[in-house]
């Protein structure tokens, strides 16, 4: 056997393989079919329950049985995906019309997961059985082999309602996603009936019936003006707000805000995050009027209660919740579905039109099959009626025949060979018989009691009923209006039995403009430890722990809650930090790294000092570098809007070693690495701009640098450790700026 080699480009193989994979995911797993609105895993779950006989009026069955049977027969992709789909179809807070009746813990709106499938039970809902599975036995949809070709499964369910709109769908495929919101069943059916009656209706016309999405969680859609474009293009963003009510607290002057409906995207973990966000607002003083928050939700519905302080402005709190939390959220619409075997972004009109086309297709197959059945029944009934009239001759044929085939042959072809007749007339009459094969078989199988008069009357009545059905089915198949009437009557029945009131309000609201109230300023103390963790505490807390605060922290700064701090670093930068951004808490709280609060980077710069910007604006600051450059700068130069500014200009390899307020009277002492000390007076330091380099404060020898600086006060002795000995700095002689200084010896 010779080997054949096919040479091709590797990139072409990769491209083809990836496209095949992508289309498999898109069509066979992630996207719903526009006809029944179901993904393959959902369709297979429902069909398997139908096959197992788990109907709405039958007992529940273990979910594990359903999952296992579905996986073994139709969906070999793991039990978690199957059970996940089963759970979602049973959750009334996710589905506009649940398709599965769940018994047990199927999760909650607050994000609690469903119990393991060995504990829960399920069965079909009545709607699912009537609207999705009722006509499967009439061969109205195509059945295809399953993954191992041992079973047959429907390629699509004969859905009678536009499930893609009613229950919506969400899925992530390869390079594309779908997000279709749920809608009100009654409104969708009304739009569908209107389009059946008048195919010229536009999207705008259909929106007279479909007002907008109808989320199971309720809420308020506040951008009604955008819905027309969304339904025309199939894409857009829907803004949803939760429903908020204000209640008066009994026997009190206080009020409470009660949230009874939430935005659809908040389902699950979003509720817990919302509660945390509200608590954070209350702690940050923006929502200081919120006294308490509690989640009183139950199986009766959502109820989140915010207790307000006396005199609180509830309208401001409502705006704060909409603006600062997920109580107002967006649903990104992308109405992507599989249509004619390929993914397409569809408009409202496209989806309804596709469903109507599908309804006429399955109705045509259904009534054609029913017509064929009635025609076959009519043929047999006519044969039996004719046989009753010549029953004596038929009995004579049966008694004279040697076997069944001889008698049947005589009834069908009139062949009398081998049959004994009593008279020649009987033989001649038998030769004239011309029953069909089906009629002959029915005659041979007919029982004698059928010859009773009442039975013959019933046969005649049944024959008349069959002719009426044939006439009706023929009319339905041949006339569009007749078939449309049948479809409309079915839709009206579903609307009558299953439609519910709209839960989501549709309106047009302006975007929330929140004029944030400036929190009342209060005195506090910044504490920052040697590791750079900062927090603020109340002044009273500081006074109670004053000694510990001074001992354990590198910086202790008194300030107001609305103050700004100026952080100076050795690379000549000044970082501006608002006190309100620093976490406020208890004395023993760890705090937050200063790196996370401003632009300070501990990996590339070292912190020299932190000053209250409100205090230094009216002062002068002394800047001293390691190369001995010194200057005085007005503190007001750092009152800027930027978060980081250059505090001074530095030479290459130079660094800032000190920033200090210029309020000393006895001068300052600069000490170098080689133990040279120079004391100068404050008036010798020139006033310059912050972007200036400064002037020479002390003249350095080669490879020398300033390592210490001390600011002296009148009458206050200051000592420093220099060259291994304690030196009284206030006894040093005052010299001119720019001198070399005095050598301090051991």
Joined together, the tokens standing for residue 44 give 């297979």
Contact 319, 328 (CB under 8 A): no
Distance between CA atoms of 676 and 668, rounded to whole angstroms? 14
Distance between CA atoms of 271 and 158, rounded to whole angstroms? 37
Selection from 299, 303, 301, 283 nearest residue 291 by Cα: 283
Helix axes 79-90, 63-73, angle to 10 degrees: 130
Distance between CA atoms of 338 and 341, rounded to whole angstroms? 6
DSSP label of 28: I
Using the Cα atoms of residue 21, residue 23, residue 28 and residue 29 in order, give the sign of their dihedral.
Answer: positive
In order, the DSSP letters of 630-696 are: EEEEEGGGG--SSSEEE-S---TT--EEEEEES--SS-EEEEETTSEEEEE-GGGSPB--TTS--EE
Joined together, the tokens standing for residue 295 give 């989640």
Reported residue count of the chain is 746
Distance between CA atoms of 644 and 658, rounded to whole angstroms? 18
Number of Cβ atoms within 10 Å of the Cβ of 641: 6
Q: Beta strands 505-506 and 220-221: pairing type?
A: parallel
Using the Cα atoms of residue 211, residue 214, residue 218 and residue 222 in order, give the sign of their dihedral.
Answer: negative
Distance between CA atoms of 25 and 173, rounded to whole angstroms? 6
DSSP label of 57: T
Beta bridge partners of 653: none
Selection from 93, 506, 504, 87 nearest residue 267 by Cα: 93
Residue whose structure tokens are 């002689």: 733
Distance of CA 409 to the CA centre of its chain: 71
List, edge to edge, every strand of the sheet that includes 573-578: 607-612, 564-569, 573-578, 644-646
Contact 627, 649 (CB under 8 A): no
C-alpha distances in angstroms, 5 versus 8, 11, 16, 263? 10, 17, 19, 60
Burial (Cβ within 10 Å: 0-12, 13-18, ≥19) of residue 263: buried
Helix axes 40-51, 63-73, angle to 10 degrees: 110
Joined together, the tokens standing for residue 190 give 């009304």
Distance between CA atoms of 153 and 147, rounded to whole angstroms? 10
Selection from 562, 480, 574 nearest residue 519 by Cα: 562
Contact 333, 181 (CB under 8 A): yes
Residue whose structure tokens are 């330091």: 685
Selection from 382, 280, 283, 263 nearest residue 331 by Cα: 263
Which position among 18, 119, 480, 522 bears the catalytic label?
A: 119
Joined together, the tokens standing for residue 276 give 């945390």
119 is catalytic: yes
Distance between CA atoms of 545 and 81, rounded to whole angstroms? 57
Enumerate the active-site residues.
Answer: 119
């Amino acid at each position: 056997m010779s080997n054949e080699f096919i040479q091709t480009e590797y990139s072409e193989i990769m491209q083809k393989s990836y496209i095949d994979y992508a289309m498999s995911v898109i069509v066979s797993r992630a996207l719903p079919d526009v006809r029944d609105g179901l993904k393959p895993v959902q369709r297979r779950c429902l069909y398997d329950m139908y096959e197992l006989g788990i109907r709405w009026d039958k007992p529940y069955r273990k979910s594990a049985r359903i999952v296992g049977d579905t996986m073994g027969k139709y969906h070999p992709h793991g039990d978690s995906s199957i059970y996940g789909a089963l759970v979602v179809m049973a959750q009334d807070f996710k589905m506009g019309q649940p398709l599965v009746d769940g018994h047990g813990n199927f999760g909650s709106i607050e994000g609690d997961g469903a119990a393991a499938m060995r504990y829960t039970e399920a069965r079909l809902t009545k709607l699912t059985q009537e609207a999705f599975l009722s006509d499967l036995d009439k061969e109205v949809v195509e059945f295809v082999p399953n993954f191992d070709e041992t079973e047959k499964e429907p390629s699509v369910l004969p859905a009678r309602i536009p499930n893609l709109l009613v229950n919506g769908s969400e899925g992530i495929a390869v390079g594309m996603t779908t997000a279709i919101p749920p809608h009100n069943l009654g409104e969708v059916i009304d739009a569908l009936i209107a389009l059946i009656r008048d195919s010229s209706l536009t999207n705008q016309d259909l929106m007279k019936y479909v007002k907008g999405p109808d989320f199971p969680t309720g809420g308020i859609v506040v951008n009604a003006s955008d819905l027309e474009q969304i339904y025309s293009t199939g894409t857009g963003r829907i803004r949803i707000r939760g429903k908020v009510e204000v209640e008066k607290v009994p026997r009190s002057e206080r009020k409470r805000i009660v949230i009874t409906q939430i935005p659809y995207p908040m389902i699950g973990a979003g509720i817990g995050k919302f509660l945390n966000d509200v608590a954070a607002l209350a702690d940050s003083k923006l929502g200081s009027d919120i006294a308490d928050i509690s989640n009183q939700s139950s199986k009766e519905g959502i109820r989140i209660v915010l207790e307000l302080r006396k005199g609180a402005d509830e309208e401001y709190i409502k705006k704060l919740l909409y603006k600062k939390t997920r109580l107002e959220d967006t649903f990104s619409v992308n109405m992507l579905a599989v249509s004619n075997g390929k993914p397409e972004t569809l408009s409202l009109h496209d989806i309804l039109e596709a469903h109507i086309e599908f309804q006429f297709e399955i109705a045509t197959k259904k009534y054609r099959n029913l017509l064929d059945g009635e025609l076959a029944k009519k043929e047999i009934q006519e044969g039996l009626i004719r046989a009753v009239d010549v029953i004596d001759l038929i009995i004579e044929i049966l008694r004279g025949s040697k076997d069944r085939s001889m008698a049947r042959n005589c009834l069908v072809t009139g062949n009398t060979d081998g049959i004994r007749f009593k008279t020649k007339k009987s033989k001649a009459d038998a030769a004239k018989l011309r029953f069909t094969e089906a009629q002959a078989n029915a005659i041979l199988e007919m029982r004698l009691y059928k010859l009773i008069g009442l039975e013959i009357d019933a046969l005649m009545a049944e024959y008349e009923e069959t002719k009426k059905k044939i006439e009706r089915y023929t009319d339905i198949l041949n006339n569009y209006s007749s078939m449309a009437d049948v479809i409309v009557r079915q839709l009206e029945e579903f609307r009558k039995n299953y439609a519910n009131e709209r839960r989501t309000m549709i309106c047009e609201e302006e975007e929330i403009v929140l004029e944030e109230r400036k929190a009342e300023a209060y005195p506090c103390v910044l504490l920052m430890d040697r590791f750079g963790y900062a927090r603020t505490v109340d002044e009273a807390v500081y006074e109670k722990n004053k000694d510990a605060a001074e001992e354990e922290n590198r910086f202790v700064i008194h300030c107001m809650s609305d103050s700004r701090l100026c952080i100076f670093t050795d690379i000549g930068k000044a970082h501006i930090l608002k006190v309100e951004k620093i976490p406020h808490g208890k004395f023993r709280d760890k705090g937050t790294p200063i790196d996370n609060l401003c632009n300070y980077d501990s990996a590339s710069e070292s912190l020299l000092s932190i000053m209250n910007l409100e205090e230094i604006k009216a002062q002068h600051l002394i800047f001293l570098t390691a190369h001995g450059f010194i200057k005085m700068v007005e503190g007001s130069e750092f009152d800027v809007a930027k978060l980081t500014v250059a505090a001074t200009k530095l030479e290459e390899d130079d660094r800032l070693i000190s920033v200090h307020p210029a309020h000393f009277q006895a001068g300052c002492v600069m000490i170098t690495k080689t133990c040279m000390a120079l004391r100068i007076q404050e008036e010798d330091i020139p006033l310059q701009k912050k972007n200036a380099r400064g002037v020479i404060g002390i003249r350095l020898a080669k490879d020398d640098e300033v390592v210490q600086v001390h600011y002296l006060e009148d009458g206050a002795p200051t000592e420093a450790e220099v060259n291994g000995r304690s030196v009284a700095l206030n006894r040093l002689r005052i010299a001119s700026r720019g001198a070399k200084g005095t050598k301090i010896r051991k």
